[in-house]
Structure 1
Amino acid sequence: MSGTKKLNYILPTIVIAQFLCTSLWFAGNAVLPDIVKSFSTETNLLANLTSMVQFGFISGTLVFAFFAISDIFSPSKVFFICGIAAALFNLGICLELPDVRLLLLFRFLTGFMLAGIYPVGMKIASDYFKDGLGKSLGFLVGALVFGTAFPHLLKTFTANFAWQYVIFATSALSVTGAFGIILFVPNGPFRTAGQKFNFSSCLSGFKNPGFRSAAFGYFGHMWELYTFWAFLPGMLMLFNTKHPTTVLNIPLFSFLVIASGGLSCMIGGLLSQKFGAKRIATIALAISGLCCLLSPIFLFSGSVYAFLIFLFCWGLSGTADSPLFSSLIAKNAPESLRGTSLTLVNCIGFAITIISIQVVNLLSKQLNVQYLYMVLAVGPVLGLWALIKKITH
């Protein structure tokens, strides 16, 4: 097999495995209405369930970064082990759990293992593709977005079955993805032998203006994205409540809106090759920030078409910049700590999502819901400021 053919074969394998394994991410959210029946007294279950996955992911990324796991050990083996473990922890929520804390623990552990899937998948790609990394990461992050959305689609197709079938299916997908990586994706040709974790060395990346501005742009993007995804079913439910004559299928449209972002990730990655990562990331972040500011108008529009078009615009723009930030961070990170730097920045970004989700959940009890999601504009505004200051292509 020639080198070119091998590379053509490797990227689709990584992308498919990333999609299959990250289907675990929002599996709990997709079946939340069914889980609530067992814990009816938990008024903040949506925010807490989502936050525990994110908190688990953050904890995992800290551990992975501290021990430089994806730089010292074979990233394909790390991906495989984490994919299997995440599938098992995901199955844990199907048990008859007497305490909501056990439910949250299993989601935490699933998130912890996802730290060995998402950033490690990007590390594997960066070990294979130095040129066109933005395009490669565009497909990878697109796979993450499709994976995140997929449980909502499964819920649509299994509406007449027990909710546990969604969990069984996502765990099976994760196992399949894990085996795909370990069997077909060896260590990449550009893999650099790692070194032990050095906190000051990792933070030294922030001395690089390109790394710093890409990272802060990513942080602003993360303030908005996961909160939008987490509260999207609530937006659809609210529309149904206010317009009883037009009943939207909540799981189906949750899937379609989130999954549309997977398409924009791929398109953004391709466009970055021609126009540069900075330009495309800036445009996407500006559009999604504008969506936050315009949400009082369109989320409460009387027209179902205006409402859905707005949600799809938000879904498309909200993720298009994500792979571009990852590409810029990888390019500007210290060579031997590329995987650890990606993991560390992911860790900070997902910590920001927890704060954002909890802030919006708290404000939902204090503010008029019509103006609630304008709070998400804070992230894009600060991210744009970081991008405009300085960033390298």
Structure 2
Amino acid sequence: MSRKATNLALITAAQVLTLSLWFSGTAAGPGMARESALVTANFQALLTSAVQAGFVAGTLISAALALADRFDPRRVFAAAAIGGAVANGAILLQPLGAEAAVVARFATGMALAGVYPVGMKLAVGWADRNDTGVIVGLLVGGLTLGSAFPHLVNAFGGLEWRLTLGSASAGALAGAALMARVRLGPRHAPAPPFEPAAALRLWRNRGTRLATLGYLGHMWELYAMWTWVGLYLSASFAVWRGGAGGDASEAALATFAVIAAGAAGCIGAGFLADRIGRVRVTVGAMAVSGACCLLAGPLFGVHPALTTALCLVWGVAVVADSAQFSASITELAEPGLTGTMLTVQTSLGFALTLITIHLMPPLVAWAGWSGAFAMLAVGPALGCVAMLRLGRSRDAARLAGGRG
């Protein structure tokens, strides 16, 4: 195996192992609820939301201090992975339902701010101008599989929650250990002198601003879809059966398949984007996912096979473009600030997801699934506008080896 392949394999493995911390709370929640009435549905939702809120806070701090660029990214990654493992493991020491567990999940999210964008920076350091998209796609594909995993676990009755949390912390420690074997790639650029306002360059530069606006349109839809598609499928299957609840594992398995299918979309879109351009791929993916948003309402309550088929297409399209926004930033940003620019972009995107995730329940209650999902379609529509403008700009020549 070549040095490049070896290092990319190590980085990907470390990232997937460490990001298991993100999903462990979601997977552990049902088991915790079986042991204590204090672990309500609202408490389980807090365990998940706290990680995202912590991630947003962590990325803001990391971007302001330019941690991913000023320090060896391998050390930043390892330190963050160890911190996340400790914070996640601290939940095992708390009584079930304790508020301290939510605080620990927030701290876990803050630590992961030093893992996800930093892992992308490390991987891009090994990329050539013709494979950046597929390399970042592999990393986002790993995140996508991790997002789907709790639904697979719950479809088969769930795992013992202490084992789930403990295994995730052990995986993060293993990810930190792998960093000792990672080498910096030939595209790794030293950071310029520290400038507190460097993070603002993402918005001042027209190319990175448009790529980030496209990313925000994508994120407006993505996590709200991932969060609520399981409930949508379960409710749709029940309506088809005349109100009968049916087998909960059927909807959980369908949800796993829908989200996991996105991993193939990430890799396939990366392969295409490196050959036909990032603008074409991102606009195409958002057009398909936006159409699925609009079709999901009318197809609610029809035969489960048809609803699932639509959601499988949606699951592929909704995340297929995700890595290409990050790849675009690595090509458009000042080389020594790639880590900071990626961190700012992900911070803005995940902050936006906190809004749309919590908007969905009242929208479903007020306008039904059709109205709620139509609201999500606004994101990819605006994202398409931003990316088409980027494609017509001079900055497009710097994307995907000149392919736009």
Please say if residues 90 and 171 of structure 1, whose CA atoms lie closer than 8 Å, have aligned partners that are also in contact.
Answer: yes
Deviations 1:49-79 (A, max 9, x none): 3322111001111111122111111111111
Between the aligned partners of 1:45 and 1:7, the Cα distance in structure 2 is: 44
Partner of 1:259: 260
Deviation at 1:314, TM superposition (A): 1.1
Partner of 2:401: none
Between the aligned partners of 1:104 and 1:175, the Cα distance in structure 2 is: 21
Between the aligned partners of 2:278 and 2:369, the Cα distance in structure 1 is: 35
Distance 1:39 1:336, change over 3 A: farther
SS of residue paired to 1:97 = coil
SS of residue paired to 1:194 = coil
Between the aligned partners of 2:158 and 2:101, the Cα distance in structure 1 is: 23
Partner of 1:356: 356
Partner of 1:280: 281
Deviations 1:287-332 (A, max 9, x none): 111111111122x132111111111111100110011110001111
Distance 1:43 1:168, change over 3 A: closer
Deviations 1:364-392 (A, max 9, x none): 44333453222211211111111122232
Between the aligned partners of 2:80 and 2:189, the Cα distance in structure 1 is: 22
> What letter is aligned with 1:247?
D
SS of residue paired to 1:128 = coil
Question: Out of 41, 52, 55, which is 2:53 matched to?
Answer: 55
Distance 1:17 1:367, change over 3 A: same
Does 2:295 match 1:294? yes
Deviation at 1:187, TM superposition (A): 2.4
SS of residue paired to 1:129 = coil
SS of residue paired to 1:367 = helix
Partner of 1:191: 188
Between the aligned partners of 1:147 and 1:291, the Cα distance in structure 2 is: 23
Partner of 1:380: 380
Partner of 1:146: 145
Does 2:34 match 1:28? no
> What letter is aligned with 2:68?
S
* Unmatched 5+ stretches in structure 1: none
Between the aligned partners of 2:75 and 2:39, the Cα distance in structure 1 is: 42
Structure 1 window deviating more from structure 2 (122-131 vs 92-101): it is: 92-101
Distance 1:128 1:325, change over 3 A: same
Instruction: Report the count of equivalent residues.
Output: 387
> What letter is aligned with 2:127?
F
Deviations 1:337-372 (A, max 9, x none): 110011011111111001111222333443334532
Percentage of pairs with the same residue: 36
Distance 1:365 1:42, change over 3 A: farther
Please say if residues 237 and 304 of structure 2, whose CA atoms lie closer than 8 Å, have aligned partners that are also in contact.
Answer: no
> What letter is aligned with 2:278?
A
TM-score using structure 2 length:
0.88
* Unmatched 5+ stretches in structure 2: 397-403
Between the aligned partners of 1:331 and 1:75, the Cα distance in structure 2 is: 18
Between the aligned partners of 1:15 and 1:140, the Cα distance in structure 2 is: 6
Partner of 1:218: 215
Distance 1:153 1:175, change over 3 A: farther
Partner of 2:177: 179
> What letter is aligned with 1:200?
A
TM-score using structure 1 length:
0.91
Q: CA RMSD in A?
A: 2.3
Deviations 1:226-279 (A, max 9, x none): 111112332233234333385352443332221111111001101112111110
> What letter is aligned with 1:380?
P
Partner of 2:119: 121
Deviations 1:86-127 (A, max 9, x none): 122223333443655323212211111111111000010122
Between the aligned partners of 2:237 and 2:99, the Cα distance in structure 1 is: 31
Question: Map of 1:1-393 to 2, 5 A cutoff?
Answer: 5-36=2-33, 38=36, 44-45=42-43, 47-97=45-95, 100-131=98-129, 132-156=131-155, 159=157, 161-180=159-178, 182-195=179-192, 197-242=194-239, 243=241, 244=244, 247=247, 249=249, 250-298=251-299, 300-391=300-391, 392=396, 393=404
Please say if residues 138 and 324 of structure 1, whose CA atoms lie closer than 8 Å, have aligned partners that are also in contact.
Answer: yes
Deviations 1:166-188 (A, max 9, x none): 222222222222222x2321222
> What letter is aligned with 1:273?
D
Partner of 2:400: none
Distance 1:214 1:378, change over 3 A: same
Distance 1:364 1:48, change over 3 A: farther
Distance 1:254 1:102, change over 3 A: farther
Deviation at 1:217, TM superposition (A): 0.4
> What letter is aligned with 2:247?
V
